[in-house]
Amino acid sequence: MTPELQALARRAVACKGWRWVPGMQSEADWLPDLGSPATMGCLLALVREAWSEPLGSVYYLVTMVEDPGWYAEFGDSEELYDTEAEALVAALEAAS
């Protein structure tokens, strides 16, 4: 796992809304593998639960004004992130 993903994984497990969900993959030090599609799907489910928004989503946004990036549609945040994992972890943090 890259140092960036490892740092994101540590941020994720520190969140109030974090818990291990069946299907998640783990890496060294029992950190969630944010490179795993199954783990990312579970993380999305945790974010939806934390925000009580069952239809909330994360998507890649391209605009004419800003550089493209990942956007998590939860709360009032309008920030774009470099990766899908970063957007989801930020949304989980903001829900705490």
Q: What is the pLDDT of residue 78?
A: 80
Q: What is the pLDDT of residue 59?
A: 93
Task: Give every residue of the chain whose pLDDT is below 70, as ranges.
Answer: none
pTM over 0.85: yes
What is the Cβ-side half-sphere exposure of residue 53, based on CA atoms within 13 angstroms?
16
> What are the boundaries of each domain within the chain?
3-95
Q: Which residues contact 72 (CB under 8 A, 6 or more apart)?
A: 47, 56, 57, 58, 81, 87, 88, 90, 91
